[in-house]
Amino acid sequence: MRMYETIFIADPDLQDEVRKDLFEKFKNILVQEGGILANFDDWGNKKLAYEIAKKSRGHYVCMTYGGTGALITELERNFRLDDKVLKYMTILLEKDIDPEALKQQIEAEAQAEAEAKAETEAAKTEAAKTEAAKTEAAKTEEPKAEEAVETAADETGEVEAGTEEIEEDK
Amino acid sequence: MAFQRKNTKKRFYQRRKVCRFCADSTLEINYKDGKALRPFITERGKIIPRRITGTCAKHQRTLSTAIKQARTIALLPYVGKLS
């Protein structure tokens, strides 16, 4: 079995449901042809370096998977048939991998991810506490120094951005 | 003439360029990171030769394949615009 990575650019103007169906379809093809999906990474809408089919933006998706050559031909045939896919590119990552080892690796990664999530949640609550403390401190120091308030505001902004990301992950 | 040239030390010293990927092993060449490849292409989108950037032969090879892959998937331009 070989390890591949495929990036495809989907139409940016699709409805969310249609897009979901499209991704499901390719995932199904992958499983049907005996592939093992290791990672499905949705990059979202990005600006293209050059226009493709009169479009200057594209929805990037990166898939990492183990499979055979037959899987690639089938997958790329479907990419070509589908109008919703603007462009695709497949790259060979590793020539010879053990399917069992890959499965185990995926499981281990999933576990690690779950642990990391729990940790970030713990960190989140802690960050909220420190944030509250900081704002209080800033309030008390407000008449003394304006700079301190500014830095505190910056930091709280960062923390907020971090929590937003975590929420999106969920 | 030859004598004169020998005496006038007009050779200007140029700092030896070091391959930045050899100097910092944490740097990775990856086609998915278009921004990281930007310093190695011109405004027109051409790959800058290694005699200019100072990249070593090994890393220039991987760099050029990465740039070409990034072009294929529209992360980098084939033909850039003059800004």
ipTM: 0.72
Q: Identify the CA nearest to A169 among candidates A105, A126, A111, A118.
A: A118
Substitution target in A50, A61, A90 with the highest count of B β-carbons within 10 Å is A50
Yes or no: say if A84 and A35 are a contact pair by the CB < 8 Å rule: no
Report how far apart, in Å, the C-alpha atoms of A141 and of each of A138, A144, A153, A154, B21 are: 5, 5, 13, 16, 46
Nearest chain B Cα distance for residue A34, angstroms: 26
Look at A49 and B75 and tell me if their CB atoms are within 8 Å.
yes
Q: pLDDT value at position B61? A: 94
- Count the helix, strand and coil residues of chain B and give each as a percent rounded to the nearest 5: 45, 0, 55
- Taking only the tens of pLDDT, chain A with its 170 residues reads 899 999 999 999 989 999 999 999 999 999 998 888 988 999 989 999 999 999 999 999 999 999 999 999 999 999 999 999 999 999 999 888 888 888 888 888 888 888 888 888 888 777 777 777 777 766 666 555 555 555 555 555 555 554 455 444 54
Could you say which residues of chain B have pLDDT below 50?
Answer: none
Interhelix angle A99-141/A146-169, nearest 10 degrees = 150
Q: What are phi and psi of A91, to 5 degrees?
A: -130, 135
pLDDT in tens, B13-25: 777 778 888 888 8
Model pTM score: 0.69
**A49 touches B at CB < 8 Å:** yes
